[in-house]
Amino acid sequence: MSDLIYLDYNCFQRGFDDQRQVRIRMEAAACEEVFAKTEEGAVRLVWSFMHEDECALCPFPERALEALNLSALCAVRVGPTEEIRGAALSFQQAAPLSARDAVHVACACAARANVLLTCDDDLLRRAPRAAPHLTVMNPVDYVRSKQGEW
């Protein structure tokens, strides 16, 4: 069975960041690989109401539009629920996570995602404390881990 992946919003935006930095280039390439594997049916993606909110708040229209275009690849949609709200509040206290990050983690859990991918080092460090059952990885590490399978 294919992985169900929840992408932090920064994964949808990584291609717009400063590509002169090696880390950013590698993460952008890894995110592109995840999108390509989604198109091939090797993985499935989740899109949540939090992604919609972040698109609405994005000050760069071309970035928001690209994220919305990529949302078409997402097979699973997550809307707001009291369960997600409660989990996010608990994650904020347990980790501690920002409100936005806590909602993303709660959405990933609600969708029963196998993995949450993020380029945010703080979220990589803190999310496992809030949701130890959720695998949280950098996209580069995830793609490396799948090389034998893809």
Report strand pairing: 135-137 vs 115-117. parallel
Judge if pTM exceeds 0.75: yes
Amino acid occupying residue 59: P
pLDDT tens-digit profile of 23-44? 999 999 999 999 999 999 999 9
Mean pLDDT, all residues of the chain: 96
Q: In the chain, what are the domain boundaries?
A: 3-146
pLDDT tens-digit profile of 52-92? 999 999 999 999 999 999 999 999 999 999 999 999 999 99
The domain 3-146 having CATH identifier 3.40.50.1010: the answer here is yes
